[in-house]
Every structure is written in structure tokens, then in C-alpha cells.
Amino acid sequence: MAVLEQENGVAEECQSASRPHVQSADGILDCVGQTPLVRMRRYLEESSVELYAKLESANPGGSAKDRPATRMLHHAIRQGELAEGATVVESSSGNMGIGLAQACRFHGLRFMCVVDPHAQPQNVAIMRALGAEIVRVERQVDGSFLAARLQRVRELLEVTPNSYWPNQYANRQNPIAHLNGTIREIDRDTGGDIDYLFVATSSTGTAQGCRDYLRRHRRNTKVIAVDANGSVLFGGSPGERLIPGLGAGHEPALARDQTFDQIVRVSDIDCVVGCRRAAGREAMLVGGSAGGVLEVVRSMEANLRGKRCVAILHDSGTRYLDTVFNDDWLQSALGTNADEVEARIGSPALSSTEARSQ
């Protein structure tokens, strides 16, 4: 061992060579993935249904979007598409923006995120805390805030030197992140034995990646895609939606011609009911889209007896305290109140839902 210094004739020796190895992540992005799978025993009335939740809120940026955000940037860097000093520009309703803000700050890249009025204030604040520059669009284009955000992204790319657009809506690394991560972890933890997988859709990256993995490995799992009333995905009709991260007002390139075993649409109120039921019965604060996913499971529970189901819950309810869990917002935004929501929590699920199979 090396001698550090000599004092009063006594050598002080470095002990570092004999210290035990530290098991740790190599930076915050190394913590993306390996999220927990949690049994939900109280959410459903039918006890024979095995319901598990994949808690993507355990990612360091707080959502499932951490996976594609990290992968898209790493891939672009490896391919030479993203150089030092570049500016990343993306459109987001919140979670992808946070994932990219974190990844960009880690890699020392400038990040500009285009959001619309439906972006949760807390999500915007988190992006800013991670160094993102926020660009807000206030008016729809062709009846869609997503179309307006994408138009603004293209304008920023034209005037920003050395800029790069990951384009979560068309980038194949988006579903690949879930194919190699989310569903692989679920498959491992369940021994490949899942009857139903429930997943929210927006860019459709999560649902695609999971479906493709299951098909490649010849699993018999049925993939249930959860969409929003008012979403144009899967041939839907456009309408107002207030829960971010669920559905789309403009069909993304990734979503074209995509098919799943079944598509179920939920309303904003359905999502609120699911979030509050999960908090009351499971002591779990889940995000808006997750509430919708759980209500879809509940609406089908009579047909799920004896089945094993996994619901991917994209983010945490802590980001919806001013909306989904706020009684004043219920009244002003949705025209309902806490008593009506509580009554629906104990009533059959999805009274306002249309469902169809493909």
C-alpha cells in the first residue's frame, strides 16, 4: 500500500486498495428501468383476477417516458446525429419533456420543449429545474394542440443552429426502448405467463414495443390499448381531452396502421375515478392515464376471472395534485364534484366508454 505521508515517524497508509466494491449506478440515467411490479389485491371486486401494476413512476424522471428519452438520445449520439453543443427540440405534454430534460442535462445539451395549455404546471416546473427552455403554444392548428406543437418544433429547428429533433412520434427507438426494457422486465418477472396486458396509448410507443416483444416470443397475451374519448388514434373522432399523455389530436407517424387485440376508450372522468379508487383502495397515487387503464381493467373484470393481468402505469399521481385530485378542478374543468366521483368509484366502471376490437 502506498504511503500518504510521514508524521512523527509513523506511516499513514492508504486503505483504498482494500476497500469493498461499491454497488452503484453509473450516473442517474443508469437508473432508468428495472421498475417494480406490484400486486394490486384491493382495486377489483373479483378476487380471482391476478392484477399487477408496472410502476413506471419509479424511473428517475418519474415516468415511462424516461426509457425512450434516454434511448433516443443515446442512439443519436452513437450515430453521430447529435454532437456536443447541440440543441435538442421536442414537443411534449410533460413526461417526455422531463425525460429529455434530464437526459440532456446529463449530457450537457441544450433542450427546448414545446408545450401547450394542457401541460401540467408541475411538469413544466420540473423541466425548468432541469434546465429546459419552455416554448408554449396557445392556439390549436387544425383543431389540435399536437399539430400546433409540431409546427412550432419545425419552426424552431429552422432558426436554431446545430439543432436536433428526436421526434418521439416517429422515432423507432421509442417502441424499441419498451421492447428491450418494459415488457422484457414484465416477461421475466411473470415467467412469461400473462393473459392480458393493459397499456395507455399516445405516441403508441409503449404499446407497440410490448406487443412486438410478445409476438416475437410467441406469448398468448392479449394487448389491450387504452385510448381517450376525443382521440383520433385508431380512427377515433377528435374532441376535447384534458388528461395529458393519453390519446392524440393528431395521428403520430408511429400510430399509423397499428393494431392491438382490443381498443378501449375512456373519458377524463373515468381517469379521475381510477386515480381516486387506486388511492383509496391501494394507497397508490397514480397518474391520469394510469387511472384510465385501471378502470378499463375493472370494466372487464367479469371476463377476467382466473386470469393474470398486468397494467402499465405510466406515471405518479403526485403530478396531478392540482387537477385529478383537486375538487375545485373537477368542478371547473369537468363539471362534476367529489361526491359524484365517489359514487362512480363504487359503481360499474366506464359508464361513458365506447369499446371495440380489432
Question: pLDDT tens digit string along 285-319?
Answer: 999 999 999 999 999 999 999 999 999 999 999 99
**Judging by DSSP bridges, how do beta strands 163-164 and 87-91 pair with one another?**
parallel
Q: What is the pLDDT, as a whole number, of residue 93?
A: 81
- The x, y and z cell numbers of residue 231, run together, are 382521440
Q: What is the pLDDT, as a whole number, of residue 142?
A: 86
Q: What is the pLDDT, as a whole number, of residue 16?
A: 55
Contact 247, 231 (CB under 8 A): yes
- The x, y and z cell numbers of residue 312, run together, are 402499465
Q: What is the pLDDT, as a whole number, of residue 208?
A: 97
The ranges of the chain with pLDDT < 70 are 1-17, 351-358
**Judging by DSSP bridges, how do beta strands 10-13 and 3-7 pair with one another?**
antiparallel
DSSP-derived 3-state class of residue 187:
helix
pLDDT tens-digit readout, 91-135: 998 999 999 999 999 999 999 999 999 888 899 999 999 999 999
Q: What is the pLDDT, as a whole number, of residue 19?
A: 87
**φ/ψ bin of 80: left (φ > 0), alpha (ψ from -120 to 50), beta (otherwise):** left
- The x, y and z cell numbers of residue 55, run together, are 410502476
Contact 54, 312 (CB under 8 A): yes
DSSP-derived 3-state class of residue 162:
coil
DSSP-derived 3-state class of residue 16:
helix
